[in-house]
Chains A and B, each alone.
Chain A
C-alpha cells in the first residue's frame, strides 16, 4: 500500500499514519462498558483523526454485530414516531434540536426511500400503529405496510440504506485489508451500513473536514482511494454503504437518526469540546485529536476540560501501556470513567 499527502510523491505508508490507523483498530469495542475519553495532541495539523476513525471502522468490519440490520425496524419506528408526534408540527422554521431541547438528533421529515429503486419515495402515514409496532407509509394512492424483513428495502431519506444488494455498491475488501495487517473483515459487512462509529468533523464545517481527509490518498496496485472515500461518511464515497456517521461540529447535527454511537473520533479542539460535552454522546467513547499550533487560549480551554474530566475519570494506564509506539511529538491522554 502506498501513501500520498497533499499531492506529494507516493511513498510506503509512513509509520505515523500506520500508528494512528492501528490505534483506531485496537481501540476497545463497545462490548467493554467503561467509557473512555482520550485526547491526542499533535505537533502539527494533520488528518490523524480521520486515520483513527478509519482504523476503528476496519475493526468494526470484523464484528458480526456491527451493522444496522437488527435495529433497522426499531429505527424506522422511532423515525415515524418522531415525525408524527413532533417534527411534523414543529414551530421552528429551521430545525435546531439543541435550541428547542426536544432531544432529537435531527429533523424527521417523514420521507423514506426504497433502496432497490432510489426514485421511489413515500411518506410516513398516520396509519402507523406504534402499539402494534406496525409501520405504514403512503406513496400517492399506495399505502405500504412493510414487515420487519420488508422494511429492509426502505431507508430513511437522506440517510444511507441499511444494506445494498448490487455489487457496485459494495465496499472494497482489498482496500481495507491492506491497511491493517491481519484485519478480520466479514464480507457481509461490506454491503451493510453501521451507525456505531462517528466521525466528528472540524468546527469549520463538513467541506473542510472532507478536504482534509481527501488530501490523504492510498494506492494499492491500480486502485487509488482517498481517506474521505474510505471513511464512507454518507455522501463522501462512491458507495451508498456508510459505516461512519458524521457529526457536523459547526451545526452540531448528526447526518442520520441514530442511537448514541459507541465511539466518536473528534477532529480538532472545538470539535472535541463540543462532542465531550454533548448529551447525545454521553455514553460514547471519545477520541479527540488536536494540534498544538494554536493560540494559548484554545490550548488552555482544552487543558481545563481534561482537568475537569478528572473529577469523574482516572488515567487508563493499562491502555496507555498497551498502545503501539507513538510518533515523535505526540502526547496521548486516556481517561477511563471511575468505577466507584
Chain B
C-alpha cells in the first residue's frame, strides 16, 4: 500500500541521514571483454557507415545490459560476441585493428564462462543477509532483468522473491510503502539502460541503498534532480533547512560507504576507464535524427514507441466513465488497461461534389476582397445584419480573403458561408454555369471547401485536428460495439460502416505498461514492433 504523506514525513523526521553502500566489483576476465568491446564500439562509431553503426548499436546494447543486470556468465555471453562473425570476417569487414580487439574480447568471453558472475555472488550474499535479519527490501530493476534476480536464490532454501519485492518504474516507487533497503545493480542514471527515478536519492523512503556496480561505472552527475534546488550531490547537513542561492531546501543527507572487491587491478581499471562506458555511449551516440520516446507495451511481445509528451488517441473501458475516447498522455492519463487506438484509413473524402482545385473560391474570394477594399465597415455591418455574429469579423474577413493554398480559407460553419455568399450577391445569378447544376452555387462552393479540407487532412497539413475530430465522432458512434469487444479481447479491430465519410479500420490494443528512456528515429515511432527490435532504441 502506498505510504501517506504523514507516514513519509514521519519517516524523514526519524532519519537524519541515509546511507549508500556501494559495492564496486572488478574481474580481470570481464574487464578484458568489456574494454575490448568498448574499443570496438568507439572505432565503429567513428567509422560512420551504416553497417558499422548497426554493429555499434548492438555492442552498446550488449554492454549496457551486462553492466546493469546480474546476468549469469554462461555460454550466452560468448554466443552474443561470436554472433558478430569470425575474426577473419571481422577483419574483412572492419580491419585488422578491430580484429585484434575482437580476438581479445573473445578470450575474455571464454574465460568468464568458468567463473560465476561476482555481481551475482555479492547480490546473493547481501540478499540472504537481509532476509536473515528480517529487513524489508526491494529491488529496482528493469522488468526484463527480474528473472536474473529471481534465479539468484534458486539453489538456496530461501523463499523466492515476492511480487512486491521489485520496483520497475517511478510509479511503482511512488506507490510503494516505506521499507528498509533498496537494491540497485549498476550506476544511478536517470535515463536509458539501468535508469532509476531521481526520487531514489531526492525523496528516499528507505534507510539504505545497496548499489552493486562494476568498477569504473560512475553515477550520472546530478542524479537526484530537484527542479528548484541545487543538485543532490551538494553537501547538505542533516535534515536542517539550508538556504541556498535559489531556494530553501530541507533535504536528507547521504553517507556513502564503498566496498571494493575483485581480482582486477583497480588502478589499471581506473586508468582504462577514465571515461565510463555510459559516458562514451552518450558522447558517441548520434542523437540528431532521433527523438526521445516512451514505450507503450501492448501484449507480452510487442510495443509502440511514441514521442515523449505525445497525446495518444485511446479508449478507456471503465464503465460509466465520462469521456471514454479521447487523447491521453502515456504514463499519465493513458495508463495500463486503456486501449490505444490506431487508424488505418482509406482516402479521406468528406463528401461533396468533385470540383477542380479552387475554381469557386477564386470567384467568391475576389468578390469578397473587392467588397473589403471598397468598404470594410459596410461589409461587416451587412454580414452582421445577415446573421454572422463572429466576434472578430474584420479579422475573419481578412483571413477568408487569403488565397487558397492546400486548404481554402473560409468560414468554419456552413451557415456562415451561405450567408457570406448571399451578402456578396453570388447566389442569385442564374449564370450558365449555375444552370448546369441543380444545386445552389453556394453549395457547390462549400463542397469545394469541404473537399479542400479533406485533401488537407490527407496531406496532414490543415488537419490533424480535423481528422482527429472526424475520428472521434466516428468512434463515439461505434462506442457500444467497442465496449463489447473490449470486454472480451485485448486486441481487436472495428471497421467503419460504409455510410461514414471516413473509411477504414480502427485497431485497438490494450496497454500493459510503459517505459521511458528510448531514443528512436521517426520511422520507428507510432508503429508496432516486437520488444526485441525496440530494445535497440533504448538510450
Contacts and interface: CB of A to CB of B under 8 A. Distances in A.
Contacts of A39: 227-228
B251 A326 contact: no
Interface residues of B, number: 52
A292 B412 contact: no
Interface string A262-302: 00000000100000000000000000001111111101101
Contacts of A42: 5, 203
Interface of B: 3-10, 12-13, 170, 173-174, 190-191, 197-199, 202-205, 225-229, 239, 241, 243, 245-252, 292, 308-309, 331-333, 389-391, 411-413, 416, 516
A328 B239 contact: yes
Given A5-B6, A203-B332, A329-B9, A303 B250 contact: no
Given A43-B9, A326-B248, 7 more contacts: A8-B6, A292-B198, A292-B226, A296-B191, A299-B226, A302-B228, A329-B12
Interface range for A: 35 or more
A306 B227 contact: yes
A333 B228 contact: yes
A221 to B, nearest CB: 22
Nearest to B240: A328
Given A47-B5, A294-B170, A296-B191, A91 B246 contact: no
20 contacts: A5-B6, A14-B6, A16-B9, A43-B9, A44-B3, A45-B5, A89-B390, A203-B332, A290-B227, A291-B174, A293-B173, A296-B198, A296-B225, A299-B198, A299-B227, A303-B228, A305-B227, A320-B248, A327-B9, A329-B252
A3 B9 CA distance: 15
A332 interface: yes
Interface centre among B5, B8, B416 (most CB of A within 10 A): B5
B4 A328 contact: no
A241 to B, nearest CB: 27
Interface string A323-335: 1011111111100
A115 B252 CA distance: 53
B251 A331 contact: yes
A41 interface: yes
Given A91-B390, A292-B198, A297-B292, A329 B332 contact: no
Contacts of B199: 43, 292-294
B246 A326 contact: no
A328 B252 contact: yes
Contacts of A291: 174, 203
Contacts of A295: 170, 197, 331, 516
Contacts of B13: 328
Nearest to B169: A295
Nearest to B12: A328
A280 B3 CA distance: 36
A204 B332 contact: yes
